[in-house]
Structure 1
């Protein structure tokens, strides 16, 4: 398995949209697609990445810094449905957490995720601080999770 993490460019937009759509409706609500497209068009210049396996885009995800709340965190992380449970999400998540620790060593890290992936992020050191029922859409609860920079993943 030959995996490579590369910086996102607009050339990957359709790949990332395909990855997003492969995770509907369990992991994302259909109404989130337009938000994701707008994110790809406007917010990916700094820290958004694509994970490639054998020259195919199989996942994407980024990090962010919110200057208003002084929190950094993980944004729009996903792996194509056909590639779930192969360790790709783990590699991409660990890459992004290490980047957060390097760039923002003293911040609290945050992720908004769902009940379907909250357990995965708990294993990485995040803890749930708020649960908003149907926060992302019908049947997809929003889990607001945080991690202190000093926590090391298991």
Structure 2
């Protein structure tokens, strides 16, 4: 796990593009680029394997809604089904629990990955058909976590 730096931008965009059109809509690319250029969070990371950037993702805190969550998490399509996403997602969930205890965790994802997040403790609270794009439904999912000291 390496903290994101601008030199990882192009690799992250390639990871995004490798997941088109199933996991992301083409029109989301501009949003992702804007995020990398102007809205990057303190807790955004990349995963490197043998010198290659194969994944990226982070966590966020939305003070206006008193929620925290997972942001722009993805693994290059060539590295799907190797356990990287599972490991990286759990790492970020553990980071959420440590950094923002006693707050609701949120994620927006699609029908293609909702089951993946359900296995990690998220529950679907809203579904918007074609919410991201034609054929890509928007699932809003939450996880309640009450920290213990």
Alignment of 1:125 with 2:121, yes or no, is yes
- 1:86 positional shift: 0.3
Alignment of 1:136 with 2:136, yes or no, is no
Aligned counterpart, 1:34 = 30
Aligned counterpart, 1:62 = 58
Contact 2:59–2:68 under 8 Å retained in 1: yes
Map 1:93-104; keep pairs closer than 5 Å: 93-104=89-100
Instruction: Provide Cα deviations, 1:57-107, integer angstroms capped at 9, x if missing partner.
Output: 000001000011000000000000000000000111011001101110111
Distance 1:101 1:92, change over 3 A: same
- 1:42 positional shift: 1.5
Structure 2 residues without counterparts, runs of 5 or longer? none
Aligned counterpart, 1:47 = 43
Q: Distance in 1 between matches of 2:69 and 2:95?
A: 10
- SS at 1:40 equivalent: helix
TM-score (ref. length: structure 1): 0.93
- 1:129 positional shift: 0.3
- 1:55 positional shift: 1.3
Q: Distance in 2 between matches of 1:128 and 1:150?
A: 19
Q: Distance in 2 between matches of 1:27 and 1:45?
A: 22
Contact 2:103–2:146 under 8 Å retained in 1: no
Structure 1 residues without counterparts, runs of 5 or longer? none
Count of residue correspondences: 147
Aligned counterpart, 2:101 = 105
Instruction: Provide Cα deviations, 1:3-27, integer angstroms capped at 9, x if missing partner.
Output: xx11000000000000000000000
Aligned counterpart, 1:87 = 83
Give the ranges of 4+ consecutive aligned residues of structure 1 lying more than 2 Å apart after TM superposition: none
TM-score (ref. length: structure 2): 0.96
Q: Distance in 2 between matches of 1:141 and 1:98?
A: 27
- SS at 2:24 equivalent: coil
Aligned counterpart, 1:21 = 17
